[in-house]
Structure 1
Amino acid sequence: MHDLKNLWDEFLTTWSIDRVKNMTLEEYVGFADKTTFTYWLETKTHPIANINGSPSYKFGIYKRNPNKEIKEKAGTKQGEEYSWYSRFGDTEQEAFIAIRKNILTVINASQNNDLNTIENVSLSNMFKWKIAFLYQNRNSPTIVNIFSKDKLDELTGLSGKPSFSDYYQELVSNYNAEDYESIAEYGKELWLQSEVESNADAAITRQYTDNSIDIQESPLNQIFYGPPGTGKTYHTPEAAVKAAEPIKYQALGIDKLLGATPAQQAELRELYKSLTDAGRIRFVTFHQSYGYEEFVEGLKAFTNEDKQVEYEVIPGVFKKISEDAEKSKEKKNIGLKPSARVWKISIDGVNHSPVRDYCLQNGLAAIGWGDTGDMRKDERSESENEYFANLSSTNRNTIDNFCSRITEGELILCISSAKTIQAIGVVKGEYEYRENGILGRKDFCHTLPVEWLVTDTVLDIYELNNNINLVQKTVYELDRFSTADLLKKAEENGITLNKDCDSNSEDNYVLIIDEINRGNISKIFGELITLIEPSKRSGLDKNGKENREALYVHLPHTPHKKFSVPSNLYLIGTMNTADRSLAMMDTALRRRFDFVEMMPKPQLFKGKKVHNIDLQQLLEVMNERIEVLYDREHTLGHAFFMPVINVLDDKGEDDAFIELQKVFKNKIIPLLEEYFFEDWNKIRLVLGDNRKNSQTQSQYVFIQQSTASYNDIFGEGHGLETYEDKKTTYKLTDFNDENSSWQLPLAYQAIYDVSVLKKTDTPTNSDEELKTSNQ
């Protein structure tokens, strides 16, 4: 616990009371700023005391993520950058000054052991009591580093409605300074003992996601499977970052049981976005029409410039990412970006030229058409515009390619004939207009900075280009092969593009396949289903040695090239078991993937109640009934109730109850209809309506049941006695009726505990009393 003391000292040194008095808004709170007061309170001092889990409004004011839209919330105000509680002021500066004043009141009260004053300060409980804890007199402490009322209730066993002062007085009375280095150590041990005694239930309820994946190493192929709403898709970004950047992921310090703090989640999202932007994490969704052509490769018809129909091979998402991953080491070392394209250029023809020699020797690529003027300018002279407009479409396209489309980090090939290239380079910057041209040639004024990796070769790329000659057009994209194909071709011909290649610089790539069970696996993967096995992957194995069992295939549309799946490509799938049972999953896929089950976690809602509706019991009981009536693969995930929890934490029970009604109306009831094919009797059983038997309990029924004889419906002589003599019909209670069961908290409680309705049999209770008694 010596580290806790050092961390505590560091906080008090960094955030002295004098600094807090003069603290600015920018010092108080920021977005992804690890120097602010609130970042210290929430994240840096997390080992001392945890205040994670509640929204950013707990700070009174916070700086929004600039990439997210503003979400309006009752009782708050929104500025250009900040959001705050309107009770603190009309402007962000007014609000901050009021919040800072409250913080100073808490600090002064904690140092004077005046806990009653802290009780009345208008800041969130977790936030103000952590401040009070950190600034209290450590030689005579009065506050323990536990700020959850549920946990304080559990630890103290106090009855009635105890205040935080009551809790801390009870806990501190048992504190012996001789047994602990500090009050922080005492609080940590109290929490730990509570966890052990409750069989770690509390830790499990705060579990962020399924924890069966080892942090150190991710499986090459894994599928998250489970019923709807269990966090499968929600978990994939974390799993993808863990696979793509295991070291950076571990550096985030995400607790395997407690999960990511809000600050860690923000960092995780930023890292995920940067990896997707770089092309190292890609996403695809399988569906019934998805096939081999989209996933691996297929043919696409197009009309060329001569108005002739041609067919080109289009690589699918899996082939693209496999090739990028295979050559990631080489691409990274020569400065290619992951999504780099390949461009062809003819510098002053294909024969010997002083301009060409100058460009290759001085790190340039250049093209003519100097009369166009600077292509970066929005406004060019009338004559320049007229000149450009009168060029052929081919020439205009060439100039646009060179000046606008080619970007830094892409591959450029200087040709020497219709089949061969002389030089290979990487674009290193943006287009530049040279008014005086090159070597007196004023027509060669359009230039790009290029690092030429090799300039004196003769590499035949005719076969690589699908047996098609390079055409006379000066600049165009070579889209029949990838950068990985070119690098492999160069390697096969003994051309080394980077002699200082770092063998440890290989990047991991991740392909996320959402709804993997909805596609026809045999149709989509084809012959590649074998190649995804870890033992059949190309590249280095786990011991850093070349895998001798690697398999290569020749794809049908590109038979001249060998294809394999590299060992640094990770596949992450999600599977909704309500769509298809795991038992019905393609056997070939089941043998090649690690399956990670993600089931509903009602424990996440332990202690969470909305007008006395216990959300944990509600979800547990409904799922228990669904499992009996259907199976466990069609239970309800905890994600259905997460919006209710968010509203409960943000706005309180009244708004949370409205949100709960929306969840039943828009999510749960439609899903149950789908599960049971509109068998309303089974839906009644799930909702517990069958147990609401007495006349007074009928107002709490969600699905109304009525039975009528055929004689009543059709009259006599209907001739339907052969089948039955009466019909039972069902009607869903109107959600929009303000007096319906959906508006009554007791109706939801009765789903899991019908005994709450016993008092409804007493005629002295009015309907309105029953509606409000549980609020």
Structure 2
Amino acid sequence: MSILQGNFKEFIDIKEEFINWMITNVSGGNYYKNQFSSNINKLRDELHLYENKYQESFDDKLFKINSGEFRNEINRTTLNIYNKETLFSEFNKNHFSERPRAILGNKNYIKFLNEYFGNIESVDQSKIKNDMSYKASLNQILYGPSGTGKTYHTINKALQIINEEEEKKLDWSDRKSVKELFDKRVDEGRIVFTTFHQSMNYEDFIEGIKPEEPENEGDPVIYKIKYGIFRNHCIEASFEIAQLREDDITEEVLDFSILYDRFIEDIEEKLIEGDLVELEIKNGGKVIVEGISQQRNIIIKHHSGEITYTVSKARLTKLQAAIKELDQVNNINDEFRSIIGGSNSSAYWSVLNAIRKEKVIIPQNKEKRKYTFEEKKEVVFSLSKADFKNKKGKPFVLIIDEINRGNVSQIFGELITLIEDDKRLGMDEALEVTLPYSKEKFGVPPNLHIIGTMNTADRSVEALDTALRRRFCFEEMPPKYDLQELEYDIFGQKAATVLKTINNRIEKLLDKDHAIGHSYFLSKDEGKIVDSFYKNIIPLLQEYFFGDYRKIGLILGQGFVRLKEWEKTDGVFADFDGSTDYADREVFEIIDYRKIRDYKLKFNNADVVMNFAKAIKVLMKQTIE
């Protein structure tokens, strides 16, 4: 039944396959078989209804699966089906006692998908380490409970994506070497690490208007458009692609940038001295330089007019690269607008002509040049969509820790669409948007990878924004019980077994999203494991269960939780109506063996003096003496 021998990159409509599977392999006995086997069209009609509602809710095809990304498709479909905050969830609640989810959930459709695609599991990390040709998704999120190593693994994943000679020779078992190489890539600008939080916004991440401190006391505050974390990294990644061009356009752009800056300086000096600065236009007339803007653009106006025109450095750079001889331009309106869009062509012609007439010699440095960020911006602004076509470039990585703690829709804004693989620059479906502050065109380069981490105990996967989930590949990071670092005893008990026992009970009482991560148990001696219980594990349980010590007791046992003893007094509460309703209420507390030495627990009709080791035995339901 596997399709892996066929075309591994096409969309497959598997509705009919699922219908056949439903009437022969249903998990719930003969219930659905009896309902649908004699009337297969009834099942087909129901699935058509589910399909339409799914499309409406998630803007996604329910039964069309991309065979080349089937594992991601199955994960995303599962998340959508069990999402409790969508139109589909409302439809499910009001339709045949939640039958849509029963038919499409883990016991039927999801199970069918796994069988259909051969039950192939996600790529094993050890294979990735040995095969650095592993192709990572451009956008991925590692999700799981606290302490499962999500942030820890982003370092490995980022280096696997970079995949240069040092990464290929790296001893992945040597954590110190791994971290040193990661830090080196951060210093080089190849990897950027950031954390989302409630105060993060579009202006921090993409671009915004920010104040600049005046150089001199008493000068007015100047507000400028500043790039955010994401846009800065996109510039770095795009510049890497610019350097793949076979011509010398990068150096030409930077040389022109130097000429432009010197031209601006000369004009400013003349304006300060009160001189009239005139520039020749193509028809032989002249225009006046009105001034220089804060953004270092040239303000032009005609002698007989009051309207001013702005000549920007970015557009002028594009004209410089595209037009070799100004004298050979016949219709400047048509030719200029085909390159830079609508603008005052005469103003641009006058400035470009004036700069080219300047007899300035730029020293040529034959050594490998180090580019400033401003120079990189100049080059990137000169790129066209065609410059990204079939260009890979060295990969760059943006790591977003705690991605679900920020308002992703607000932070990414309109760019949430641009990060999709097929919407990246150079792709057939590439998109660009005009940014709201700078009014500049912007697209996401194809060599920028995004790795996010998400704590499922903080906000479940299902509650994430649907637009975000559709554009990311999700990789679950559950607690691992087979790690070598867990192969030690905790007061006579296997560390992995203790952790698994605790998590099984949490899953029964709450869910697996709130499990305890393996990092709280890794390679700890007896003193450290005691501290880990009281400083990490028990506080997490108190948070998860909102101080419900009965449930905490069901997880840790009466060796860690006891009924609090109260002094016998006439009354605990102040005189007030209803105080007697709470007088007999039971109150529990955590037993802290770092402070308590005389706690006794009755076991087999005998009082046993307890300690941490015996409490662990009680947790594991073993005999104590």
* TM norm. shorter chain > 0.5: yes
Question: Larger RCO: Structure 1 or Structure 2 (Cα < 8 Å, ≥ 6 residues apart)?
Answer: 2
Q: Secondary structure at the match of 1:731?
A: strand
Give the conservation status (yes or no) of the 8 Å contact 2:486–2:522.
Answer: no
Q: Secondary structure at the match of 1:319?
A: helix
Q: Secondary structure at the match of 2:587?
A: strand
Q: Match of 2:518?
A: 638
- CA gap of 1:528–1:271, structure 2 versus 1, over 3 A, is same
Give the conservation status (yes or no) of the 8 Å contact 2:557–2:619.
Answer: yes
Q: Secondary structure at the match of 1:753?
A: coil
What TM-score does the superposition give when structure 2 sets the normalisation length? Answer: 0.55
Residues 199-220 of structure 1: CA deviation (Å, up to 9, x unaligned):
xxxxxxx987999999510000
Give the conservation status (yes or no) of the 8 Å contact 2:571–2:583.
Answer: no
Whichever residue aligns with residue 184 of structure 2, its letter is S
- CA gap of 1:516–1:636, structure 2 versus 1, over 3 A, is same
Tell whether 2:405 aligns with 1:537.
no
**1:683 pairs with 546, 552, 562, which one?**
552
Tell whether 2:208 aligns with 1:298.
yes
Shift of 1:714: 4.5
Give the conservation status (yes or no) of the 8 Å contact 1:710–1:727.
Answer: no
**2:226 pairs with 300, 314, 331, which one?**
314
Tell whether 2:226 aligns with 1:346.
no
Shift of 1:310: 3.0
- CA gap of 1:524–1:503, structure 2 versus 1, over 3 A, is closer
Residues 476-529 of structure 1: CA deviation (Å, up to 9, x unaligned):
xxx9994444224445699x9xxxx99867111110000000000111011001
Tell whether 2:493 aligns with 1:613.
yes
Q: Secondary structure at the match of 1:346?
A: helix
Q: Secondary structure at the match of 2:444?
A: coil
- CA gap of 1:712–1:683, structure 2 versus 1, over 3 A, is farther
Shift of 1:624: 1.0
- CA gap of 1:636–1:419, structure 2 versus 1, over 3 A, is closer
Q: Match of 1:594?
A: 473
Q: Match of 2:531?
A: 662
Give the conservation status (yes or no) of the 8 Å contact 1:299–1:313.
Answer: yes
Q: Match of 1:696?
A: none
In 2, the alpha carbon distance for the partners of 1:714 and 1:419 equals: 77
- CA gap of 1:348–1:624, structure 2 versus 1, over 3 A, is closer
Unaligned segments of structure 2, at least 5 residues = 1-123, 268-310, 327-335, 353-370, 600-609
Shift of 1:633: 0.4
Whichever residue aligns with residue 615 of structure 1, its letter is A
Q: Secondary structure at the match of 1:727?
A: coil
Whichever residue aligns with residue 399 of structure 2, its letter is I
In 1, the alpha carbon distance for the partners of 2:229 and 2:125 equals: 34
Give the conservation status (yes or no) of the 8 Å contact 1:643–1:659.
Answer: no
Q: Percent identity?
A: 34
**2:506 pairs with 623, 626, 633, which one?**
626
Q: Secondary structure at the match of 1:670?
A: helix
In 1, the alpha carbon distance for the partners of 2:423 and 2:413 equals: 15
Q: Secondary structure at the match of 1:230?
A: coil
- CA gap of 1:327–1:718, structure 2 versus 1, over 3 A, is closer
Whichever residue aligns with residue 487 of structure 1, its letter is V
Whichever residue aligns with residue 434 of structure 2, its letter is H
Q: Match of 1:115?
A: none
In 2, the alpha carbon distance for the partners of 1:207 and 1:346 equals: 54
Unaligned segments of structure 1, at least 5 residues = 1-205, 255-259, 352-417, 425-452, 471-478, 540-546, 645-655, 690-700, 761-775
In 2, the alpha carbon distance for the partners of 1:518 and 1:287 equals: 5
Shift of 1:682: 1.5
Q: Secondary structure at the match of 2:204?
A: helix
Q: Secondary structure at the match of 2:581?
A: coil
- CA gap of 1:335–1:490, structure 2 versus 1, over 3 A, is closer
Residues 213-259 of structure 1: CA deviation (Å, up to 9, x unaligned):
9951000000000000000000001101111226654x2377xxxxx
Q: Secondary structure at the match of 2:419?
A: coil
Give the conservation status (yes or no) of the 8 Å contact 2:209–2:225.
Answer: yes
**1:753 pairs with 604, 607, 621, which one?**
621
Give the conservation status (yes or no) of the 8 Å contact 1:297–1:313.
Answer: yes
Aligned length: 405
1:38-49 alignment runs, 5 A limit: none
Q: Secondary structure at the match of 1:672?
A: helix
1:416-495 alignment runs, 5 A limit: 482-490=374-382
Shift of 1:719: 5.9
Residues 597-633 of structure 1: CA deviation (Å, up to 9, x unaligned):
0001122256411331321111011111111121110
Give the conservation status (yes or no) of the 8 Å contact 2:194–2:401.
Answer: yes
Give the conservation status (yes or no) of the 8 Å contact 1:209–1:231.
Answer: no
Q: Match of 2:453?
A: 574
**1:271 pairs with 181, 186, 194, which one?**
181
Residues 49-94 of structure 1: CA deviation (Å, up to 9, x unaligned):
xxxxxxxxxxxxxxxxxxxxxxxxxxxxxxxxxxxxxxxxxxxxxx
Q: Match of 2:597?
A: 739
In 1, the alpha carbon distance for the partners of 2:569 and 2:154 equals: 58
In 2, the alpha carbon distance for the partners of 1:598 and 1:209 equals: 17
Residues 167-194 of structure 1: CA deviation (Å, up to 9, x unaligned):
xxxxxxxxxxxxxxxxxxxxxxxxxxxx
Give the conservation status (yes or no) of the 8 Å contact 1:224–1:598.
Answer: yes
- CA gap of 1:724–1:517, structure 2 versus 1, over 3 A, is same
Q: Match of 1:231?
A: 149
Residues 117-162 of structure 1: CA deviation (Å, up to 9, x unaligned):
xxxxxxxxxxxxxxxxxxxxxxxxxxxxxxxxxxxxxxxxxxxxxx
In 2, the alpha carbon distance for the partners of 1:601 and 1:327 equals: 40
Whichever residue aligns with residue 314 of structure 1, its letter is K
Give the conservation status (yes or no) of the 8 Å contact 2:419–2:471.
Answer: yes
Q: Match of 2:430?
A: 550
Whichever residue aligns with residue 486 of structure 1, its letter is E
Whichever residue aligns with residue 197 of structure 2, its letter is H
Whichever residue aligns with residue 687 of structure 1, its letter is L
Q: Match of 1:252?
A: 169
In 2, the alpha carbon distance for the partners of 1:457 and 1:303 equals: 43
**1:283 pairs with 189, 193, 196, which one?**
193
In 2, the alpha carbon distance for the partners of 1:275 and 1:753 equals: 49
